[in-house]
């Protein structure tokens, strides 16, 4: 026979379970070395930008809770290291992700080409996932090597593209929260 204490335990256990029921989603940062992946996550998670940000080694997971369309979501943001490490890490790091941010550096066209290559590699091996293309370093737009012409073809294919700056914060919050919204409807 259960004691009253045991019944109270059951009730508190139930409440605990409910709070653990929160929607959890994994987002991966994908892109070449030094495009600003780590800085974008730092800006989104802590709203800071440091010119002395350390180069990523391996994988770092940051967490942030957001509410999109009245749904609270716990985001786990996986920050993959540069493209070389991306190759070594293989696609297993993307597994379990609900979406990813494909990041390139507007001042280096090679990182744009690499982003398209990485996206192809992901889609060859995994189910299509929601993603946005971020052309980062919009604060340095006078030095950009990527033109509207480069983007028009992608826009015709319905790509969502944001011109972000981890330095000024432009479109960083939007990119993460609108991707989360898209993931919830995927």
Provide the minimum distance between the beta carbon of 33 and ligand G3D in the complex, in angstroms, as a whole number: 5
User: Which single residue is written with the structure tokens 């992608």?
Assistant: 154
Please give the Cα distance from 101 to 80 (Å, whole number).
11
Provide the minimum distance between the beta carbon of 82 and ligand G3D in the complex, in angstroms, as a whole number: 5
Q: Which of 32, 56, 98, 165 binds Mg ion (CB under 5 A)?
A: 56
Please give the Cα distance from 62 to 107 (Å, whole number).
27
Asked if residues 50 and 42 have their Cβ atoms less than 8 Å apart, the reply is: yes
The H helix count followed by the E strand count for the chain is: 6, 6
Question: Among residue numbers 34 through 53, which ones bind Mg ion (CB under 5 A)?
Answer: 37-38
Taking residues 69 to 108 in sequence order and writing x for each that binds ligand G3D by CB under 6 A, - otherwise, the string is: -------------x--------------------------
The one-character DSSP state at 4 is H
The token pair at 50 is 């440091």
Question: Among residue numbers 113 through 132, which ones bind ligand G3D (CB under 6 A)?
Answer: none
Q: Which does 152 bind (CB under 5 to 8 A by kind): ligand G3D, Mg ion, none?
A: none
The token pair at 91 is 């696609």
Provide the minimum distance between the beta carbon of 112 and ligand G3D in the complex, in angstroms, as a whole number: 14
The token pair at 166 is 């981890």
Q: Which does 98 bind (CB under 5 to 8 A by kind): ligand G3D, Mg ion, none?
A: none
Please give the Cα distance from 18 to 51 (Å, whole number).
41
Residues that bind Mg ion (CB under 5 A): 37-38, 56
Residues that bind ligand G3D (CB under 6 A): 31, 33-39, 51, 53, 55-56, 82, 136-137, 139-140, 165-167
């Amino acid at each position: 026979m259960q004691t009253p204490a045991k019944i109270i335990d059951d009730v508190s256990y139930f409440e605990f379970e409910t709070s653990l029921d929160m929607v959890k989603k994994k987002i991966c940062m994908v892109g070449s070395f030094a495009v600003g992946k780590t800085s974008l996550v730092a800006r989104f998670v802590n709203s800071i930008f440091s010119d002395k940000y350390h180069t990523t080694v391996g994988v770092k997971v940051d967490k942030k809770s957001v509410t999109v369309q009245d749904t609270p979501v716990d985001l786990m943001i996986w920050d993959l290291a540069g493209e070389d490490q991306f190759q070594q890490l293989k696609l297993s790091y993307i597994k379990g992700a609900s979406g990813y941010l494909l990041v390139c550096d507007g001042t280096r066209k090679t990182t744009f080409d690499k982003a398209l290559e990485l996206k192809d590699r992901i889609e060859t091996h995994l189910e299509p996932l929601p993603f946005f293309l971020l052309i980062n370093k919009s604060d340095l737009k006078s030095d950009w090597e990527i033109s509207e012409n480069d983007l028009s073809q992608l826009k015709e294919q319905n790509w969502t593209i944001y011109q972000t700056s981890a330095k000024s914060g432009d479109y960083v919050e939007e990119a993460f929260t609108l991707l989360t919204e898209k993931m919830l409807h995927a």
